[in-house]
């Protein structure tokens, strides 16, 4: 997502802009013969202040509802990727899981990037994942819930040493040692 702060809410709150975006997505799905689309609009929750979420939440639900209606009219499916909820430190209520439930076929929970800015596990501890899953099935039918788990790792750079090390380390830099 390359939009700036406040961009997505300005699109979702404006009926004409929202419909234009829905048209673009539906045209993409139809012209390529896709079965549906996986909507991953996570940036607005991370870049817009939480103080804006009360206004964003109903606009988000309206956008998902409009997109779903158009996709379903064409026999297409809608999945939505969302950050985890139901655990301490991860309450992205702006995504209104219960509010979008009637309009989606799958809710794909991104149960990864537990640690993303400092060294730590990529996937959350089992107890954390269990809480996320339990919350999800408390607000959606279990058949709609999918749990995304990490199948990747990170090279946590804690420091570099050596002569000729670039200021931004390349993973293949043989001149530097990484801690």
The CA distance from 9 to 144, in Å, is 26
| Residues 6 or more apart whose Cβ sits within 8 Å of residue 29 | 36, 37, 71, 74, 76
Out of 42, 66, 101, 130, the active site residue is 42
Q: Give the residue ranges of DSSP H helices in 35-163.
A: 43-47, 53-73, 97-100, 126-139
Task: Identify whether 42 is a catalytic site residue.
Answer: yes
Per 3-state DSSP, the chain is made up of helix, strand and coil in percentages (nearest 5) of: 45, 15, 40
The CA distance from 160 to 167, in Å, is 9
Beta bridge partners of 177: 161
Q: Which residues are catalytic?
A: 42
């Amino acid at each position: 997502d390359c939009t700036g702060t406040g961009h997505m809410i300005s699109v979702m709150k404006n009926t004409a802009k929202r419909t234009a975006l829905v048209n673009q997505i539906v045209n993409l799905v139809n012209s390529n013969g896709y079965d549906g689309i996986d909507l991953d609009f996570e940036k607005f929750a991370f870049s817009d202040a939480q103080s804006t979420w009360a206004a964003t939440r109903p606009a988000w639900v309206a956008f998902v509802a409009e997109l779903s209606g158009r996709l379903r009219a064409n026999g297409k499916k809608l999945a939505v990727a969302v950050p985890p909820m139901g655990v301490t430190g991860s309450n992205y209520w702006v995504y209104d899981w219960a509010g979008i439930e009637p309009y989606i076929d799958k809710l794909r929970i991104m149960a990864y990037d537990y640690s993303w800015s400092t060294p730590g596990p990529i996937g959350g501890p089992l107890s954390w994942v269990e809480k996320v899953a339990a919350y999800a099935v408390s607000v959606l039918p279990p058949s709609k819930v999918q749990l995304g788990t990490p199948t990747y790792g990170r090279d946590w750079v804690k420091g570099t040493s050596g002569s000729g090390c670039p200021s931004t380390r390349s993973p293949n830099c043989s001149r530097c040692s990484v801690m």
